[in-house]
Structure 1
């Protein structure tokens, strides 16, 4: 059974899995960064998403960008050259041409669209952490994202993240019930934005137990951002965070079992 991602009362989503990490509390989230890709299952692809869930992920972190004609696609980079057989910035491609001409390097499938990622999440009862990539999201472009999420069957299982506070403030203005998470590299940005988002994605190096407790007292979710080693996982576990974002879900599960 799912609860909404990043709801302070419930902390983070709870999912029934066959291989939950031993150290994870029932509400501890393990979010697969870009779907926890492998050498043969590329990032932000449905096969990678499926494997991440099977390995113990409780949510999938993924990335949305806009095409030339303002359609939403699943892509981390600002360009298509690294992950597909095409080249150039995503803003130079229409959705029609992108789907017709470009293939992802490992699956040989067209670039995933935002609609397809939401459909997959609904079919697999999966939760998503959607990062809106880039800084230049107008209010109308954010409105298109919010409208798409409201029309989907997974609105209650989605959180929106960004490096930009202004983007998340626009999300909250249009959909106050939609969970938001600010990605930060240091504590200064947390102090400057308290009360404006429901949660933070913070690297272990910027956290202390007192900082985590301070945010918890305010009903704020604290997730350890991009944790990719046993050393980082151990630190975050001791700090009492509500979850981690990692590209190594299977390795984390193995570590958690042995550490527990």
Structure 2
């Protein structure tokens, strides 16, 4: 039994070393704003679409687990992408990156994440989309933020780390140029903006009425991406309102169109390209997706994206 475990560990290590070597040599599709104002410029609506993607949980794939730095590298090797990730607190107060409150689905551990220390969690292996253990380990939020500098835009979901706590972490890292927050309420948005007016936020704004309510808060629209819904609304007036304010609209596709690809209902994503482009026609600018490696390249040509400030293949 011990021999089998040892051999498995050796195989995992060999796989990790190969993946790390590939990641080190392959160029990345980098988005690298240098200041908070640069990030505002990248995400501002400019009267035309440069559609790109936000990789849900970093873009997991076969051999590449959710919320994992090698997975982030894998995503950026294929496409320009923001990376949405999930901070959670450990028993001893550290903050790691994992989606679930429990360990079984995405790691080789069992039980509640909050019942384990960082040292204990660092001993676990992460599982890929097929449930197979990999050699990769759970990163801390600090590790991910420092890795992302000069490479991409991180979007920190809430989970059990409050908006103010996440805003303080961004401030401590001086990462306002490339780390933004998902906030779950307008009240939270006001609190974050008061703490640090340079932090950008992803805010749920699914209707014109909600857009008008947000507009009355006094938070500059340059500080937000409007998340319009996991099922993009058909209300053209909503997208028009947000665009007139100078902000971009993000729509989720992970719960519908992406599933056709993930479940094998279509042989190739090109078969449902019209579905994605119909959301662009409505006014969506950015897609939060579970399949960034396939969707990103379909939405834009690298040579077009490379003409944008702060976009670089390197």
TM-score by length of 2: 0.66
Q: Is the 8 A contact 1:60 1:129 kept in 2?
A: yes
Residues matched between the structures, number: 241
Q: Name the structure 1 match of 2:32.
A: 2
CA offset digits 1:18-49 (Å, max 9, x no partner): xxxxxx945x4321111111121011111110
Q: Name the structure 1 match of 2:225.
A: 199
Match of 2:103 among 80, 84, 94: 80
Q: Is the 8 A contact 1:223 1:245 kept in 2?
A: yes
Instruction: Please give the alpha-carbon distance, in whole angstroms, between the structure 2 residues aligned to 1:241 and 1:115.
Output: 31
CA RMSD of aligned residues (A): 3.2
1:57 deviation in Å?
Answer: 2.7
SS of residue paired to 2:138: coil
Task: Tell me whether 1:179 sits opposite 2:222 in the alignment.
Answer: no
**Residue ranges of structure 2 left out of the alignment (5+ in a row):** 1-30, 128-132, 259-272, 305-314
SS of residue paired to 1:236: helix
Match of 1:133 among 146, 159, 163: 159
Instruction: Please give the alpha-carbon distance, in whole angstroms, between the structure 2 residues aligned to 1:145 and 1:215.
Output: 26
Q: Which range is displaced more, 190-199 or 147-156?
A: 190-199
Q: Is the 8 A contact 1:80 1:90 kept in 2?
A: yes
Task: Tell me whether 1:29 sits opposite 2:52 in the alignment.
Answer: yes
Q: Is the 8 A contact 1:35 1:61 kept in 2?
A: yes
Q: Which range is displaced more, 249-258 or 41-50?
A: 249-258
SS of residue paired to 1:202: strand
CA offset digits 1:120-175 (Å, max 9, x no partner): 102x52211111214x73xxxx4442232123253211110133444433322211
SS of residue paired to 1:234: helix
SS of residue paired to 1:190: helix
Instruction: Please give the alpha-carbon distance, in whole angstroms, between the structure 1 residues aligned to 2:112 and 2:188.
Output: 21
Q: Name the structure 2 match of 1:21.
A: none
SS of residue paired to 1:132: coil
Q: Is the 8 A contact 1:6 1:221 kept in 2?
A: no
Task: Give runs of ≥4 in structure 1 deviating > 4 Å.
Answer: 4-9
Task: Tell me whether 1:169 sits opposite 2:200 in the alignment.
Answer: no
Larger proportion of helix: 2
Instruction: Please give the alpha-carbon distance, in whole angstroms, between the structure 2 residues aligned to 1:92 and 1:132.
Output: 19
Task: Tell me whether 1:70 sits opposite 2:87 in the alignment.
Answer: no
CA offset digits 1:70-126 (Å, max 9, x no partner): 321111112122111112222222223222x4221243333111011012102x522
The structure with the larger Rg is 2
Q: 1:167 to 1:107 in 2, by over 3 A?
A: farther
Q: Name the structure 2 match of 1:147.
A: 168
Q: Is the 8 A contact 2:52 2:285 kept in 1?
A: yes
Instruction: Please give the alpha-carbon distance, in whole angstroms, between the structure 1 residues aligned to 2:177 and 2:76.
Output: 18
Q: Is the 8 A contact 2:202 2:227 kept in 1?
A: yes
**Residue ranges of structure 1 left out of the alignment (5+ in a row):** 15-23
1:13 deviation in Å?
Answer: 7.7
Instruction: Please give the alpha-carbon distance, in whole angstroms, between the structure 1 residues aligned to 2:227 and 2:126.
Output: 28
Q: 1:64 to 1:215 in 2, by over 3 A?
A: same
TM-score by length of 1: 0.78
Instruction: Please give the alpha-carbon distance, in whole angstroms, between the structure 2 residues aligned to 1:178 and 1:42.
Output: 28
